[in-house]
Each structure stands twice: as C-alpha cells, then as structure tokens.
A and B are shown apart, each in its own frame.
Chain A
Amino acid sequence: MAAKNLSVFDAIGPRMVGPSSSHTAGAARIALVGRKIVKGRIKEVQFFLHGSFSKTYKGHGTDRALLGGILGYSTEDPRIVDAYAKAKEEGISYSFIPTDLGDDYHPNTVKMLITNEAGVQVEVIGESIGGGSINIVQLNGLRVEFTGEFYTLIVKQRDVPGVAAHITQCIASEEINVAFMRIYREEKGNVAYTVIEADEEISASAVEKIKEKRDLIKDAFIVSLR
C-alpha cells in the first residue's frame, strides 16, 4: 500500500453516516471508486459480498452504503439511508449476493459487476481495511492496488513500448508530482493498466493529452476519492 503521513483527520474523521467505518463508510468509498471507473450511466450493479460483509451487511447498512457509492454519494451524504429508493428512481437495478471469494481476500471485501447503459461491464474488487480506508485490489480480473487517497489516474493502454514514457511526459508537462506509478498487465502484448497516484490534482487537460495518442492509449480516467 502507498505509505502516507497520517493526517489529524485520519484520527478525527471521516464524517460519516453510521454505524461502521469499515462496513458502512468503507463500503460507500469502494463503490464510489467503482462508479468513477464506469463510463456513462450505470444501469445495473451486482455486489458479491465476501467474509464479514456477507454475514452482517444488513445490520451495518453495507448494502445501502454500497448502493449510495454507486449513486455518487460520499460517506457523509444522508441520502445513503434512502439508497434503495434513489437507485430505483434512477433506474439502476441491483442485487446483493453473499459469496466466498476465497482466503486470499480481506474479510471485508466486495466484488462489483457494474454495467452501463451501453452494456459495457466493469469488474472491481475492493477491500475495506478499517477506519473507512479502502484498497482497490482487482480491476477487470487484473490484480491492482490503490487507495483512492491520492489524486489517482488509471490509464488503460496497449502493452507496447513507449506508453509509460508518453504518460509520464504528459503528467510532467502539467507539473504534477507523481507519488506512485505502477503498471499492471496480464500477458505481454495485451491490455495493461497504469495506476498513477499523485500529490497534486491531475488536471483534465493532462488526461486529454494522454488520450491523444490513440494508437497507444485505450482510455484514461480519474478515480480519486478526494
């Protein structure tokens, strides 16, 4: 995990709808990242609840918090309580499926299958590791690792020479300082993801610059929680 200096607001915060920082606030934040990864209007979401999430989700409002995150609500948004009704209003269908993802996953883990109105489906797996902090550990079947705490950019790219250089050049030209940068891929020559965590806000113009090289870049999007 990306190390960071703890803030006083890590100890006093987040402001959140109760009752549990891990089962409610953390759940909302995982789903909020999921929403940011999906392009366009969300039509359907399936939540596969693992470990403690699968056993106690109703009593902790984990279900409402997850749905709230998909609706774009922050941990302190009181609309989380009415997330079921709001999702219906917005025409989002949802299901909660207790499951066992295996021993490799943290006890508070959710796998989300999110489908947009164009029928494109994204799979995101996130862990709620305590105090409202989260880790996203899997994206479309690929192992990744980021927290959403930094300004975070994900680039979906072709796994060919020159991509990393192009991305860093675009970021540097906007004077953005990279805290962490990692490349994840399944097999050589296929699709890869670059995850960049930066100290400064990653501007829309930097993202557009990255996307300009259409022969190298498939997509780029910001997923930070801040």
Chain B
Amino acid sequence: MNFKNGSELEALCMETGKSMAQVCIEREVELSGRSEENIREEMKLNYVVMKNAVERAKNETLHSMGGLIGGEAQKLHARMQSGKTVCGTRISKAMAAAMGVMEVNASMGLIVAAPTAGSCGILPGAVLTTAEAYGWDEEQILDALFVAGAIGLIIMRNATVSGAEGGCQAETGSAAAMAAAGIVSVLGGSPRQALDAAAVALKNVMGLVCDPIAGLVESPCQKRNAIGVANALLSAEISLAGIPSIVPFDEVVDAAYRVGKKMPMELRETALGGLAATPTACSLCSRIYN
C-alpha cells in the first residue's frame, strides 16, 4: 500500500473503503516494518509535544533568541477574555495557539516540525482548536495528524516544504494544507474533499515569499502562522460546504513548486529581500548581531 500523490491516495481509499488516516498508517506499517500500535504511539508523542507547546505559551512569558517576538499568545488570550474578538473565539484561539507555538520555537523550546520549524504553529493551532470545539477523542486527533502527514509527505515528494527552495508558501502553505485536510477528513469529508481543502489552502498563499528579518524564525514567520491557521480553517470550511477546488490538489502542488522555483533567491530564506531588506529590518539586524 503506497501512494505517490493525492489521486493515488484517493484511489486507495476508494478501493479499500478505508479512511485516509488508515491508509496512511498501513503504508507506514508496510514501509517501516513497525507495528500499527508503535506508529500510533510515535504520533502520540508528537501530539503531546504540540499540546504542551500551546499550553506553555499561554502560561509563560517567553523570550525569543532574536528578541523580536514573545508574549503574543498571552495578549491574544487577554483580548479573548474581553469577549470582543473580531474573529470570534474559535479563530482567535487557533491563532493564539499558532503564535504561541512559534514563541516556544523561537525561544529554543520543544516543538514538532510540521512540516518545518518555521511553520510549526499551524498544525497544532488548527487541529487542537478544532478538536476542542468538536470534543474529539485522542484517536480522532491522531487520525487528523496522520491525514496531515500524508498530505505533507506528498508535497515533500513532489514539490518542497523548504522555504529556501520554495518560499513561505512551501512552509506555511503546506502546513495549512496538511491541517485543512486533517480536519476535513475527521469531520466526515470524503478523501476528495480533504484533498480539495489542502488544494485550496495551498492556492491561497501561492507565491508567498520567505523573508525573515535577520534570517531568524521570528518575524514575519509568527504572524504568517496566524494567517496559516486561519487559512487552514477557512479552507476546511469551504470544502466541507461542498465547494470543490477547481484545480485538483496534485496540480496545485506542481504549480506551487514551479512558482517557488521561479522565485529569486533573495525571496527564499536568504534574508536579502522582502521585509528582511526594509530599513527597519536592517537596523534590527545590526542590533541583533552587534
């Protein structure tokens, strides 16, 4: 049981009548020789690290290595307490979680790269917030993560998740695509709907550049994780409403890869262009490194 792309994954689900999560797990069992139980246990370790990171940022004031970020999750929670959020509690909670995990990351705390460290807030932010809202049990949460992982490995195989290769779209776009598919699948969407949600999420940020100030995984990365979490939830909603992606997932992945390759190197994690090249960023950069 193996798949190279989204359409093969969908076909496997249709042939076997199994869920995307189950197909992903069985593929893993086959390729690694590990037991299903062992593989679920490993994913649970990832889930626990994600959950702890979300909690840590809520309760602790964290200080990033470069000093550009810290305390954002707490600020968002304080605003939520006021009951006057612009986005509604669900999205506010999800973005607080995503930005918080990025604070943990930037202060050398423990996170799970998903698919990268620069995009590590999106999957926990979107999936754990949805899980809480719908009262998912642990098995459902792990299923969402396995579906997300399947989407991630397909993108890694056929394109890239590296900002240095494909820009921010490759990192936060992939993370949002992974999260969106995981959520749709556990909420009862068909494999096609899950893939469509991933396609929509990736399309929404196509061409997004990677331009970290001072080359650090802090700004604009953290706020792009907040956008990414919203992107994931919105894309899931669109797909679950029965709105298809006009361009199928595999073609979107291919298009994103081509767009990434066309990006000049200044806009691929080198910190030579975009926001990283602004006067403000340059003065922050000399403050950090001198």
Contacts and interface: CB of A to CB of B under 8 A. Distances in A.
Contacts of B288: 59
Interface in A1-47: 5-22, 24-25
Nearest to A55: B215
Interface string B121-140: 00100000000000000000
Interface stretch (A75-83, A109-117, A154-162, A203-211): A75-83
A213 interface: no
Contact of A60 (B148, B153, B217): B217
A132 interface: yes
Contacts of A59: 65-66, 214-216, 288-289
Size class of the contact patch on chain A: 35 or more
Contact of A13 (B46, B107, B215): B46
Interface of B: 2, 24, 27-28, 31-32, 39, 42-43, 45-46, 49, 64-66, 104-118, 120, 123, 145-146, 148-153, 155-157, 160-162, 164-165, 178, 214-218, 270-271, 288-289
B45 to A, nearest CB: 7
Interface string A61-84: 100100000000000101011000
Q: Which of A15, A16, A18, A56 has the most CB of B within 10 A?
A: A18
A15 B117 contact: no
Contacts of A15: 45-46, 49, 110-112
A82 to B, nearest CB: 10
Nearest to A77: B110
Residue among B117, B214, B289 having the largest count of chain A Cβ atoms under 10 Å: B117
5 contacts: A12-B46, A14-B113, A15-B45, A56-B215, A58-B65
A60 B216 contact: yes
A130 interface: yes
Given A12-B145, A130-B160, 5 more contacts: A8-B24, A11-B149, A16-B111, A19-B108, A60-B216
A10 B156 contact: yes
Contacts of A12: 43, 46, 112-115, 123, 145, 148-149, 152, 178
A60 B161 contact: no
B114 A80 contact: no
A169 interface: no
A139 B165 CA distance: 27
A64 B46 contact: no
A18 B217 contact: yes
B216 A131 contact: no
Nearest to A132: B113
Contacts of A80: 108
A52 interface: yes
B31 A7 contact: yes
Q: Name the residue among A11, A56, A78, A130 with the largest chain B CB count within 10 angstroms.
A: A11
B150 A8 contact: yes
A13 B153 contact: no
A11 B152 contact: yes
Nearest to A81: B108
A5 B31 contact: yes
Given A18-B106, A21-B117, A131-B116, A10 B153 contact: yes
